[in-house]
Amino acid sequence: MNKNILICGVGGQGTVLSSRILASAFMSEGHTVHSAETIGMAQRGGSVVSHVRVGDEVFSPLIPEGRADLILAFEPGEAAACLKYLTANGCVILNSHPIPPVTVSLKGCSYNEKAIFTFLSSQKIRHATVSSDELIKKFGSVKYFNILILGVASGMDVLGVSAQSIESQIEKLVKEKFVAINKEVFNAGYEIGLKNAAE
């Protein structure tokens, strides 16, 4: 199996942890995995892109443009910026909640989220949209979105690794006191993914 998964968001959203869980889940099933992160200038609020590549024919950790089978986008603007990586038949799972970059507040620029969503809608790509705002209402913190989006992708059956392997890595890589809530969030995301796949 060859699989390229790109995870994009901004610093502080947990993109790196989700990529580590995903890479470890693939390795636990015996796959060869290459992974890397590209991190923006600001540690918190800057762009973070994680590349997870699976397969024996992968020789570089970075996904070339046009080769990502799946993009897990934690922020709409980051999704638009990374869409060039997606294959023609790829899938995007998107957080609908925008997080304007630091430069917007520092330079007084605007963040046109309507234009971003119009652009994303015009691309005619397979996608599912989930809201981190809804997550706050149910679980009390948007910090769990990184696990929710893994659950959504797993429920949609677009990851290529089993839900059991991901839950096992959550148990290993998340602090013990947060394991139960993270597994609950993952399963909530899985149910959302099942519904999206059926539509």
As a whole-number percent, the residues of the chain with pLDDT over 70 amount to: 96
Q: What is the pLDDT of residue 117?
A: 87
Asked if 39 contacts 48 with a C-beta cutoff of 8 angstroms, the reply is yes
Distance separating alpha carbons of residues 133 and 98, to the nearest angstrom: 10
pTM of the model: 0.92
| Rounded distance between C-alpha atoms, residue 33 and residue 5, angstroms | 11
* Strand 68-73 versus strand 86-95 pairing type: parallel
Domain spans, the chain: 3-198
State the pLDDT confidence band at 40, using cuts at 50, 70 and 90: low
Q: Which residue has the tokens 């998107």?
A: 94
8 forms beta bridges with 49, 73
In the sheet that 33-39 helps form, which strands lie side by side, from edge to edge? 33-39, 47-54, 3-10, 68-73, 86-95, 126-130
d(CA 170, CA 147): 9
pLDDT tens for each residue of 82-101: 999 999 999 999 999 998 87
Tell me the CATH number for domain 3-198. Answer: 3.40.920.10
Q: What is the DSSP string of 66-98?
A: T-EEEEEESSHHHHHHHGGGEEEEEEEEEE---
Q: CA Rg, the chain, in Å? A: 16
In tens, the pLDDT along 131-174 reads 998 888 899 999 999 999 999 999 999 999 999 999 999 999 99
